[in-house]
């Protein structure tokens, strides 16, 4: 008979599971680039406030925004971290599901660095070098040909004669978008290949851009779908390779990696803040305005996140390797008044 009793209690438990539960902690998901820093803020928030520590999840920028746009209510997340700006398609999805007011909070900037094994040679790159090394097709003597370059010296005589092998983030990463845009596309324009592609495509700019950003598929450029730890492990196994990292990750592993300069600028928190280092991007989080005042501590959390103590130039944000936003005061003001974001232009 005990089995029957057990079964009944099991059913009772399952029924209780259906009952709605009031949620008292903030839930956050999104970009794996923002995740480590968001956990730092969440930890400090839980220590110093009477609210529970927010629950922070990764999953990627796009996935986080989609999750946020699933609707309103306690079993949806409150904040989406994102390493790229929200897209119109996300806003449309949000609107259809009743999430009409979203606050956009820019928390700072992240630099993207190129680093190789510590014991390898030094590299000083320009975006043009990367385009010539990794693009599927390049322009040689006015003709568009499949990329013939084998070593970095083929690309640029000043670079070491080391075989080209690059580990770049996979397409699901926000980092890849910035890499494509600020390195490959910029290099494409620098070398003049953009104009050649455009002429070849009959003046179609989109087709030319697409051609610029098409990377080689002969094993020279390797997409890494995992995170930076995987890139680091791959470089460890293959000392000739160059990897693409976030500045904060590199700063935690300076004893293993040698960073390359871009346009002669060494990536540091300072050079990114000054705008000298070309490959950087803003980081955001998006808050559902309807959840403010419903989820306890949400307003306090976002205030705390952008406070000078956390996101200022001397706070944990900078200590972690991200770059403080020069317009932080405006963001603080926006967060305090709860202004929802304007439509994307």
Binding residue for another protein, selected from 30, 31, 34, 35, defined by CB under 8 A: 35
Question: Looking at 211-331, which runs of residues are DSSP E strands?
Answer: 221-224, 242-246, 257-259, 261-262, 280-288
> What Cα–Cα distance (Å) separates residue 146 from each residue in 154, 161, 226, 280, 339?
14, 20, 29, 29, 50
CB of 55 to another protein, least distance (A): 5
For position 324 contacting another protein by CB under 8 A, the verdict is no
CB of 133 to another protein, least distance (A): 26
Task: Name the DSSP letter for residue 49.
Answer: S
Cβ pair 191, 133 in contact under 8 A: no
Cβ pair 81, 32 in contact under 8 A: no
CB of 152 to another protein, least distance (A): 23
Q: How far is residue 245's CA from residue 112's CA, in Å, rounded to a whole number?
A: 6
CB of 256 to another protein, least distance (A): 8
Closer to another protein by CB, 31 or 32: give it: 32
Question: What's the distance, CA 135 to chain centroid?
Answer: 22
For position 316 contacting another protein by CB under 8 A, the verdict is yes
Q: What are phi and psi of 278, to 5 degrees?
A: -75, -25
> Which of these ranges, 46-54, 102-110, 162-170, 285-293, lies near another protein under the rule CB under 8 A?
46-54
Q: Is 108 helix (H, G, I), strand (E, B) or coil?
A: strand
Closer to another protein by CB, 312 or 338: give it: 312
Q: How far is residue 308's CA from residue 324's CA, in Å, rounded to a whole number?
A: 10
Binding residue for another protein, selected from 72, 93, 97, 118, defined by CB under 8 A: 118
Question: Looking at 187-322, which runs of residues are DSSP E strands?
Answer: 221-224, 242-246, 257-259, 261-262, 280-288
Roughly how many angstroms between the first and final C-alpha of the chain, as a whole number? 68
CB of 6 to another protein, least distance (A): 4
Beta bridge partners, 257, equal: 117
Q: Pairing state of beta strands 102-117 and 257-259? A: antiparallel
How many residues make contact with another protein (CB under 8 A)?
58
For residue 137 the two structure tokens come to 């097709």
CB atoms within 10 A of CB 150: 13
Closer to another protein by CB, 74 or 223: give it: 74
For position 273 contacting another protein by CB under 8 A, the verdict is no
Residue with tokens 């790159």: 125
CB of 281 to another protein, least distance (A): 18
Q: Which of residues 170-189 bind another protein (CB under 8 A)?
A: none
CB of 322 to another protein, least distance (A): 11
CB of 56 to another protein, least distance (A): 4
Q: Which of residues 69-98 bind another protein (CB under 8 A)?
A: 70, 73-75, 77
Q: Which of residues 200-259 bind another protein (CB under 8 A)?
A: 227-229, 248-249, 251-255
For position 21 contacting another protein by CB under 8 A, the verdict is yes
CB of 106 to another protein, least distance (A): 21
89 sits in the region (left: phi over 0; alpha: psi -120 to 50; else beta) called alpha
> Which of these ranges, 66-74, 83-91, 281-289, 328-336, lies near another protein under the rule CB under 8 A?
66-74
For position 53 contacting another protein by CB under 8 A, the verdict is yes
Q: Pairing state of beta strands 27-30 and 55-59? A: parallel
For position 307 contacting another protein by CB under 8 A, the verdict is no
For position 296 contacting another protein by CB under 8 A, the verdict is no
Q: What angle do CA 75, 33, 271 make, to 5 degrees?
A: 145
The contact set with another protein (CB under 8 A) reads 1, 3, 6-7, 9-10, 13-14, 16-18, 20-21, 23, 25, 27, 29, 32, 35-40, 42-44, 46-48, 50, 52-53, 55-59, 70, 73-75, 77, 118, 227-229, 248-249, 251-255, 309, 316, 319-320
């Amino acid at each position: 008979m005990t089995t029957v009793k057990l079964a009944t209690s099991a059913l009772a438990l399952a029924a209780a599971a259906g009952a709605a539960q009031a949620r008292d902690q903030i839930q956050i998901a999104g970009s794996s680039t923002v995740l480590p820093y968001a956990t730092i803020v969440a930890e400090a928030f839980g220590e110093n406030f009477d609210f529970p520590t927010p629950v922070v999840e990764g999953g990627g920028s796009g996935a986080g925004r989609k999750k946020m746009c699933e609707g309103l209510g306690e079993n949806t997340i409150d904040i989406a971290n994102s390493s790229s700006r929200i897209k119109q398609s996300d806003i449309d999805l949000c609107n259809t599901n009743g999430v009409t007011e979203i606050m956009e909070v820019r928390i700072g900037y992240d630099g993207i660095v190129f680093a190789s094994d510590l014991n390898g040679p030094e590299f000083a790159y320009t975006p043009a070098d990367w385009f010539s090394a990794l693009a599927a097709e390049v322009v040689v003597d006015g003709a568009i040909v499949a990329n013939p370059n084998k070593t970095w010296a083929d690309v640029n005589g000043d670079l070491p004669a080391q075989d080209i092998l690059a580990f770049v983030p996979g397409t699901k990463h926000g980092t890849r978008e910035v890499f494509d845009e600020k390195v490959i596309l910029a290099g494409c324009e620098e070398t003049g290949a953009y104009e050649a592609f455009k002429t070849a495509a009959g003046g179609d700019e989109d087709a030319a851009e697409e051609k610029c950003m098409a990377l080689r598929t002969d094993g020279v450029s390797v997409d890494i779908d995992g995170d930076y730890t995987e890139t680091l492990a791959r470089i460890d196994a293959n000392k000739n390779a160059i990897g693409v990292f976030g500045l904060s990750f590199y700063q935690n592993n300076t004893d293993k990696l040698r960073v390359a300069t871009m346009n002669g600028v060494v990536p540091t928190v300072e050079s990114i803040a000054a705008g000298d280092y070309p490959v950087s991007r803003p980081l955001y989080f998006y808050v559902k305005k309807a959840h403010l005042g419903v989820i306890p501590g949400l307003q306090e959390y976002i205030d705390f996140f952008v406070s000078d103590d956390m996101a200022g130039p001397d706070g944990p944000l900078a200590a972690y390797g991200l770059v403080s936003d020069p317009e932080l005061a405006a963001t603080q003001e926006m967060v305090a008044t709860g202004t929802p974001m304007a439509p994307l232009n």
